[in-house]
Amino acid sequence: MNLLMRQIAEWDISPLTLAAILGIAAFAYLVLYLLLSDALFFMARQKRISFSFIAWLPFIRLYLAGSLIQESIEIFGLTIPYVQVILPVFSILSRIFSVIPIFGTVLSVVYRLYQSIVFHKLFRLCGYKHPLIPSIAVFIIPSITGVFLFAKRKNFNMPDVSDEQQINPS
């Protein structure tokens, strides 16, 4: 804390200005958090997932995101099962190990890549014609995922229901 106070003194920023900057940043983070949570909640309700309320819980909502895209994902010909379990566990591990200089950095980059691939599939299900664009944006700035999902949440295409079943339910 002492180091932080010395750094603030070097910048010659008043405490009021610093409080305003931190307040704006906290508000922006809250808005982005709510956008992602609302989008995941809406899509889960649309798919009739009974545990859609977990969209509002940090880390655990990644389980819901994995559940929305099915149980496995294919990356470079490899099928990775249990996306809904791997995504939140990988997220927690990447944050825990981020303090280890090289290993943590590599793990964080691999996680962000995996997260972008998973959300690429979710963006495709939401009807994006070019889901690579939001996927790259999510890789660079992960907190904006909610903006892209919220914008297209009503176009979410449920992957387990075919068009024939929607028209003629038996």
Extents of the domains making up the chain:
14-158
What is the structure's pLDDT at 158? 63
> Strand 72-75 to strand 78-81: parallel, antiparallel, or no bridges (unpaired)?
antiparallel
Tell me how far apart the alpha carbons of residues 25 and 31 are, in angstroms, rounded to a whole number: 10
Low-confidence ranges of the chain (pLDDT < 50): 161-170
What is the structure's pLDDT at 12? 73
The 10s digit of each residue's pLDDT in 104-150 is 899 999 999 999 988 998 998 888 999 999 999 999 998 899 999 99
What is the structure's pLDDT at 30? 95
Phi, psi of 109 (to 5 degrees): -65, -45
